[in-house]
Amino acid sequence: MQTHILGSTKIDSYRKLKFSIENFLNSKKNLENNISLICKIREIKNEIIKTQKFLDITNIGIFPYYDKVLTNMFYLGIIPYRYIKIINKKKCNIGLKEMLNIAKGNLKIKPLEMTKWFNTNYHYLVPELNNDNLKKFYKNNFLKEEFVNIEKIKNKKKFALIGPITFIKISNIKKLNKKSLYKNIFKRYINIIKRIKKEDIDIIQFEEPYFKDNLKKKEVKFLLRFYNKISKEIYNKIMLTCYFYKTNNFFLKNIKKIKSFGIHIKFDFSDKKLIKKTIKVIKKKKNKVISLGISSGRSIWVSDFEKILKKLKLILKKNLFISFSSSLEHIPFSIEKENNIPKNIKKWLCFYKEKIKELINIKKIFIYGKKINKKIYNKNKFINIVIKNYNKHSDLIIKEKSNNINKHKRKVYKNKIKFPTTTIGSFPQTKKIRSIRKEFFDKKISYKKYENFIKRNIKKNIRFQEKIGIDVLVHGEPERNDMVEFFCDKLNGFIITKFGWVHSYGTRCVKPPILFGTVIYKKGISIRWVRYYKKITNRIIKGIITGPITILKWSFIRKDIKLKDIAIQIGLALRKEVILLKKNGIKIIQIDEPAFKECMPTNIKDKKKYVNWSSRAFKILFCGINNLQIHTHICYSKLNKFDIKAFNIMDIDVISIECARSFMKILKFIKKVKLNFELGLGVFDIHSNYKFKKNDIYKFTSKIYKMKKKNIWINPDCGLKTRKWKEIINPLKKMVWAAKKMKKKF
């Protein structure tokens, strides 16, 4: 039995990678800074490698300097066509400076589109493939850099890559013949394999999360041909890795045809018939290595050793690898430094470093037996019994309450402004705001000093919006940290960690709350600030709440209860906040649901079930409450016709959707669906340095209005929290100018 992981978190407790990249971006980017950044990154890599030293196999590859898909794209020697002229002029290798320029864009050139990595909260940069950028291999040293100091790794080495089928499927493809596209990409992958072969690498791991039942027959043929060819002719130590989706009949049927050295499959499902079929397939592959994802790689809870060992006993195979169902990049680094978590709950938790220890313990118990490892086994068994029974009684009480919620239709508050301008909610959070908040939480300053500081910033945000002529104001959220963490901190049942950072996108990290108990509302979450800003302006102001599906998805949730029951518990708790906002004179409430799409299953039957329970959890917040206009916000999700129809079920009055970054692709789906809500498509990308013209906004908004003949809202595509004031003033003024032109014209 061999232990390994599919991938590691690159974000440690102190977020060294984030701050190293940001310091480089903010400096004068000379050769000296470039060298010091590479040295820091090598230190970070060495620290990650050390965490795997007690495993049988160490995993390296696709290091996310900014984004892991972007790194994989550079391995293949591909760059976006917009940057070809710049690179050709310089006649040099692509380095970190060029990589970060491509990732973020500049004043003249747009960045790559950004969207969610399957159903996770990680946002990746979408590769672009066309005739122009596939003609040539653009030289860089990113693949070579992965092999620096690998001789120090004493155990076996496994190099990870995103597989060719998944890479093609997640890319934006323009005017390319599929056969020539596949041939081109396969040739590039073969060159990578030949390069890796020269190094002291034992296994190459290809990640193919797209290997699922909605692949077309031609795509399956290409996949089988590629892996069988390289296994026979070039390198036979290939491990095909599939995760995120349940192992099904389609997958098992095609596994038999793959002649690669090893196959990794998710093995934490409950379908008994499918388990039997999987075991048959595994036992037939006598000379092949089978790697089993014996526990979830995205769960932060202690694994159930008893269940896992029962499954492993069913297989009893010599060439057996054990791992987690997916990469461990989606969980925090370590629980060690979390001193604020109650001791009894801390025992339940298992982050990246603890997961590796778990894997080693499972191997020990399986090989040497329970008696020799009695303490470890019994401790694990006891913790799992406690977790199962901890919330049973309180869960039942909340379930009964949810059945009594009024399901009657509500009277909608109708806003009379034509083409209203607004923002998504947050305004820039300066270093000063962050440091004052930290000082307050660390009890270094009094509440009065903190309150006065927040009030001054709210006033500044409101006066700015009044001055430039925004119609529906927001208070700018200077008192809020993360949109999920802020609300979870005020709800019973959640724990907020101090160092539980996870990579979200680029240099941005988030700290997901941990749901350990029944969700119960504590007190007014945002009411004290509402009462203040209602005093200082007579203009329409919008209340902002994070929705139940986003809180569910962007938190680490319980494993002993169904997702829909958690969502309804959160919905019931937040309903009390909506009632308080209404009592305090707020008539427009935005319930943010950026994670609505990423929580959605891929199977159509499961999708329909999901839409039913998620829309119910969403509507619980406001059903039966009259004279409210309900907004929601969706961002960085690849939306389609089904999703637009799903929004109709949610009883939303206005929906704002990220649109600028994805090159307005959503329009082709909006055309085909009758909408029972008003639209606010993001007119500029807040995460990019790209400088747009105000007339572009007008042309875009007039196009939507002519298409739908409905009042449309004009707003940025996301919150402005991570921006600087100098970056947002002109774009917002341009947005207001375009809205005024719309009002005159139509």
Catalytic residues: 687
CB 586 within 8 A of CB 545: no
Three-state DSSP string of 684-728: CCCCCCCCCCHHHHHHHHHHHHHHHCCCECEECCCCCCCCCHHHH
| Residue that has been written with the tokens 């008539």 in this structure | 587
Please state, as a whole number, how many other Cβ atoms lie within 10 Å of the Cβ of residue 725: 12
Distance CA 474, CA 482 (A): 17
CB 561 within 8 A of CB 603: no
The answer for residues whose C-beta is within 8 angstroms of residue 365's C-beta and 6 or more apart is 305, 309, 373, 376, 377
- The β-bridge partners of 673 are none
CB 362 within 8 A of CB 307: no
Please state, as a whole number, how many other Cβ atoms lie within 10 Å of the Cβ of residue 386: 12
Distance CA 52, CA 744 (A): 64
- Written as six digits, the tokens of 511 are 């700290």
Three-state DSSP string of 178-244: HHHHHHHHHHHHHHHHHHHHCCCCCEEEEECCCCCCCCCHHHHHHHHHHHHHHHHHCCCCEEEECCC
Distance CA 478, CA 452 (A): 12
Pick from 239, 212, 232: nearest CA to 61: 239
Dump strand ranges (E) for 253-302: 262-266, 289-293
For helices 527-536 and 447-468, angle between their N-to-C axes, nearest 10 degrees = 50
Q: Helix H segments across 304-373?
A: 305-315, 343-346, 352-368
Reported residue count of the chain is: 746
Q: What are phi and psi of 588, to 5 degrees?
A: -115, 120
Q: Is 82 exposed, middle or buried (0-12, 13-18, 19+ CB in 10 A)?
A: middle
Assign 3-state DSSP to the chain and report helix, strand, coil percentages, each to 5.
Answer: 45, 15, 40
- Written as six digits, the tokens of 137 are 């291999």
DSSP 319: S
Please state, as a whole number, how many other Cβ atoms lie within 10 Å of the Cβ of residue 257: 12
Please state, as a whole number, how many other Cβ atoms lie within 10 Å of the Cβ of residue 18: 18
| DSSP string for residues in 365-426 | HHHH-TTTTHHHHHHHHHHHHHHHHTTHHHHHHHHHHHHTS-----PBPPP--SS-B---SB
3-state class (DSSP) for residue 245: coil
First to last CA, the chain: 70
Containing H/E element for 506? none
CB 562 within 8 A of CB 609: no
Q: Is 690 exposed, middle or buried (0-12, 13-18, 19+ CB in 10 A)?
A: middle
**Distances, alpha carbon 211 to alpha carbons 51, 243, 256, 489, 706, in Å:** 30, 9, 14, 39, 41
Pick from 665, 596, 666, 602: nearest CA to 634: 596
